Amino acid sequence: MASLRDIKRRIRSVSSTRQITHTMEMVSTTKIMRALQIAADAAPYKEAIQAMMENVAPLGANVGQAILASSGGSDGALIICVASDRGLAGGFNVQVQRAVQNRIAELRAEGKKPQVITCGKKPTEFFRFQGVEPVLSYEGISADPTYQEANQIAHYAIEGYMHGDLGQVEIWYQHAKSRVEQVLTNEDILPIYRETLSMPNEPRHEEAVSPLEMVHNTNVTFDPSPREVLEYLIPAYIRTVIHHALIDSAAAEHGARRRAMQAATENADEIINTLSREYNRIRQSSITTEINEIVGGAQALEEEQ
């Protein structure tokens, strides 16, 4: 049986841990509101550029736009894995990493040569440990991603696709459906299919925006030429999809960490209550034993007299 001193030491230790987890919960609660607002503000632009692509992309073949042509002859595949720099977020990182790991195995079974770009320290360490060296890796900015990061990833993907080194490009990340719910999501970036353009993320509960109507219109007037418009529009679309995935993942990270720290705080409260009851029970038993000893000693003295 543990002594009273040991139980008090454990209560102090768990209480210190509880302070940390509760503080992290409060910090994540504050950050998730800002991150969700950033993702919500970016959603209309993403949907607008998707609508533009829906209308304009079918004309790309007529002007010889190479990036809209299928690169089916290439066995290269690029997977962009977006996760976190830090842990203590429940299964946030593990779900994405395992999904990408399974996807790599599927592509290899199909005879393809997958490459990985990692966004976050955790997935970078994970894939290096698995013997998969990322072609690009980004660390230290998962909670606050930048447009430059998305631009570099998009440039690598576009160059690889246009030169025939890549036949497909995918991105895997956690979508912040709400403050408390994250959904593992993957999007096909290249090649560009109409189904991809017409299927945006499942909207958030409170942060959802009104979906834009996708209207296909072949009567389009280009200024300047169709080639120049598409040369700007297509890379902008790809950068936007990647950037939105990064900021969406950042919001999901804060939500997952908040939920994990809330659960840890509740568990700490339960442990403290259990230890306190055990402490009081042992202390009461000790006091009762001492009283019995005193009474027994007094009775012995009276008998001697």
CATH number at residue 183: 3.40.1380.10
Write out the chain's pLDDT in tens, 305 residues. 568 888 888 999 999 999 999 999 888 888 888 888 888 888 888 888 877 777 776 655 444 445 655 555 678 999 999 999 988 888 899 999 999 999 999 999 999 999 999 999 999 999 999 999 999 999 988 888 888 999 999 999 999 988 888 989 999 999 988 888 889 999 988 887 655 555 445 544 443 333 334 444 556 666 776 667 777 888 888 999 999 999 999 999 998 999 899 999 999 999 999 998 888 888 887 777 777 777 777 677 776 66
φ/ψ (deg, to 5) at 67: -70, -20
User: What DSSP string describes 113-136?
Assistant: EEEEEEESHHHHHHHHHTT---SE
In a domain, 179, yes or no: yes
| Dihedral angle computed from the Cα positions of residues 196, 202, 206 and 209, in that order, rounded to the nearest 10 degrees | 20
In a domain, 59, yes or no: yes
In a domain, 145, yes or no: yes
In a domain, 298, yes or no: no
Neighbours of 244 (CB within 10 A): 25
In a domain, 269, yes or no: no
H helix or E strand, kind and range, residue 175: strand 168-176
| pLDDT of res. 171 | 95
In a domain, 126, yes or no: yes
In a domain, 280, yes or no: no
User: What is the C-alpha to C-alpha distance for residues 38 and 203, in angstroms, rounded to an integer?
Assistant: 14
Domain count, the chain: 1
| pLDDT of res. 63 | 46
Give the domain extent around 70. 25-258
H helix or E strand, kind and range, residue 187: strand 182-190
Q: What's the first-to-final CA gap in the chain, in angstroms?
A: 39
* pTM recorded for the entire structure: 0.79
Among 238, 245, 240, 157, which Cα is nearest to 201's? Answer: 245
In a domain, 304, yes or no: no
3-state secondary structure of 13: helix
| pLDDT of res. 49 | 80
φ/ψ (deg, to 5) at 295: -65, -45
